[in-house]
Amino acid sequence: MKRGVQVLAGLLIIMIAGSVLTAGVWGGFPTIKQTADPLASYFQTTPSQATFFFIVVMALVSGAIVNGLVIGGIIWFLNREMKVTENMPTRSEREDSEALPETASA
């Protein structure tokens, strides 16, 4: 119970600090300012911001695809090598084939 109260108190302190920063209560401390400038808005974008966002998203998606292809290729190659080694004779099979043939004593 005591641990839960400490966590709630910590979260409350963080929320109060965030509210103070957002409201701009402190005089000389840099705070968040509200503006009507579209360069600073979360809901309005300029054409350059939209283009940059599209480029970043495409780079991330293509990077994920390339990573998937590389990992898939590595797994395919390792699986191929496993199939090759499974078809190879074992040590005992090799020793049996390398043994000298028995000769009949006369």
Per-residue pLDDT reduced to its tens digit, 22-47? 665 556 555 566 676 767 766 677 78
Assess contact for 68 and 59: CB atoms under 8 A: no
Amino acid at residue number 31: T
Residue 10: both structure tokens together:
């910590």
pTM over 0.95: no
Assess contact for 32 and 22: CB atoms under 8 A: yes
Percentage of residues in the chain having pLDDT higher than 70: 70
Structure confidence at residue 70 (pLDDT): 95
Ranges of beta strands (E only) in 26-88 are none
pLDDT tens per residue, range 97-106: 766 666 666 5
* Confidence class for position 72, pLDDT limits 50, 70, 90: very high
Domain positions in the chain are 1-35, 44-91
Residue 24, sorted as left (phi over 0), alpha (psi -120 to 50) or beta, turns out to be: left
